[in-house]
Structure 1
């Protein structure tokens, strides 16, 4: 580690002001940033903790769907979203281990946008709205690539608002050591169609499988996917799986998610 200042604001306005300082970096649950600091891959002069901001915590149901504060730990989402959005609760309850679920936050996860993280699939698959200290961003516009988002410098995620679907499920194939998704698929059926979001598979990060969405919007059943295949050209290739393996997993897991949802 190295020397840095630590600030823990109690309001979004205070956090925004603190992040305006030179070399300031926001930290939420710290599940990604803390190891990065230990390795000195990041060396901010000021760490601005978001965990003391009460207005960024909690899960509540409103006219716009299910609102989740960005500083809400995964374990709280798993418990409090279960009644209203079981698929989202199940996803949160399957992240990491108990230590990670009690420290990691939804805002930290989607701000980091790890290509194998689970929450980006839920946000994109639900067509959620990401609310920041400056604006509202549709999920389709928020994720821009590997570890990349539409967030500007000093902009922080304060809330995520999920429209509640008629049916939904998330299925992932775990990487055994990290418990990140080797591949994960979130399927959500709404009155105007089906959304399918895939994480862990593509070099470009989380993405929507549009061909599957069209087929499932016509017939919401695993059989609707029988004639489809996933292009392996841009899939991740590492020691855990080839691009072809991941492409096949996308189809297999989408079928399982549809079966679980239906």
Structure 2
């Protein structure tokens, strides 16, 4: 199928894009990599009178280390994020999540900002943003504001951006000390959306107790979720006491705290909860092992 007709705009600067979006209002949609929007347009699941293509806006692409955070421009492709040395050193959870996103063609064309703004409940980068307490930069002709990841995802494919705002960058805080990271997800085939999954970051203190923990959940709600109940169950405990049985229980705690796990053709709510519990336990196991393997003071 082909999309319904629309007017195509390709601004050269962020200011021009923001002005266009402000002037065109609800009749306009921002187009980045197009890996989610274009199929929806082609299948006539949505329609906009105007598309504003920001893929050629140079200031929206790039990766920098700024004020203790990795700042990723919105139009930076998945492939560039996955290959970047600064990301691997400072925000390795992003590097680990990247290979789980679709196939290499999608990763080459798709963008980090587009994936996060799309707010799919099974989106890996969205889960990473929640786990690491990322901050979104929302830009309009009125200026730029910062939105915490915890406040960004508001519903299925919905976010808290105002109608005239563009997601211009995402800042991922750099964790210090003895940290470990892991991504676990289950899908029918590699490249499919996850039935359930978890991304985990942990930090151990000098006594090998969990000083900090961030858990993002995939495919288990109408939005990407944060596993705060599981984080609370881990925080402050000695890594050595978190054996297989303890982590299995924490996985169940994570699922018990979710009010409405979805059911669809991929599986029932009960099935998703069992898979989700296992993914949380496995990701915590790997993240804790990685953190414990590091020497104190590293």
TM-score, scaled to structure 1: 0.93
In the alignment, is residue 169 of structure 1 matched against residue 169 of structure 2?
A: no
Q: Measured at CA, do residues 44 and 227 of structure 1 come closer, stay the same or move farther in structure 2, by a change above 3 Å?
A: closer
In the alignment, is residue 198 of structure 1 matched against residue 183 of structure 2?
A: no
Tell me which moved more, 70-79 or 47-56.
47-56
Q: Is the 8 A contact 2:133 2:150 kept in 1?
A: yes
Tell me which moved more, 10-19 or 55-64.
55-64
Q: Is the 8 A contact 1:78 1:93 kept in 2?
A: yes
Distance 1:239 1:94 in 2: 21
Distance 1:256 1:90 in 2: 15
Tell me which moved more, 230-239 or 219-228.
219-228
Unaligned runs of 5+ in 2: 206-210, 290-298
Could you tell me how far 1:216 is from its partner in structure 2?
1.7
Q: Measured at CA, do residues 177 and 79 of structure 1 come closer, stay the same or move farther in structure 2, by a change above 3 Å?
A: closer
User: Which residue of structure 2 aligns with residue 153 of structure 1?
Assistant: 163
User: Which residue of structure 1 aligns with residue 32 of structure 2?
Assistant: 28
Unaligned runs of 5+ in 1: none
The counterpart of 2:235, out of the listed 202, 214, 217, is 217
In the alignment, is residue 55 of structure 1 matched against residue 59 of structure 2?
A: yes
Q: Is the 8 A contact 1:113 1:149 kept in 2?
A: yes
Q: Is the 8 A contact 1:212 1:225 kept in 2?
A: no
1:8-59: CA deviations, max 9, x gaps?
A: 1121101001112332211000011111111222221221111111111111
Q: Which has the larger radius of gyration?
A: 2
Query: Once superposed, what is the RMSD of the aligned Cα atoms?
Result: 1.8
1:198-256: CA deviations, max 9, x gaps?
A: 01112x32112222101221234454434342227511111211111111222211121
**What pairs up with 1:101-180 in 2 under 5 angstroms?**
101-133=107-139, 134-165=144-175, 166-176=179-189, 179-180=192-193
The counterpart of 1:236, out of the listed 245, 262, 269, is 262
User: Which residue of structure 1 aligns with residue 279 of structure 2?
Assistant: 253
Q: Measured at CA, do residues 63 and 238 of structure 1 come closer, stay the same or move farther in structure 2, by a change above 3 Å?
A: same
Equivalent residues, number: 261
Could you tell me how far 1:93 is from its partner in structure 2?
2.4
SS where residue 23 of structure 2 aligns? coil
Could you tell me how far 1:138 is from its partner in structure 2?
0.6
TM-score, scaled to structure 2: 0.82
Q: Measured at CA, do residues 145 and 3 of structure 1 come closer, stay the same or move farther in structure 2, by a change above 3 Å?
A: closer
SS where residue 231 of structure 2 aligns? helix
User: Which residue of structure 2 aligns with residue 12 of structure 1?
Assistant: 14
Q: Measured at CA, do residues 227 and 44 of structure 1 come closer, stay the same or move farther in structure 2, by a change above 3 Å?
A: closer
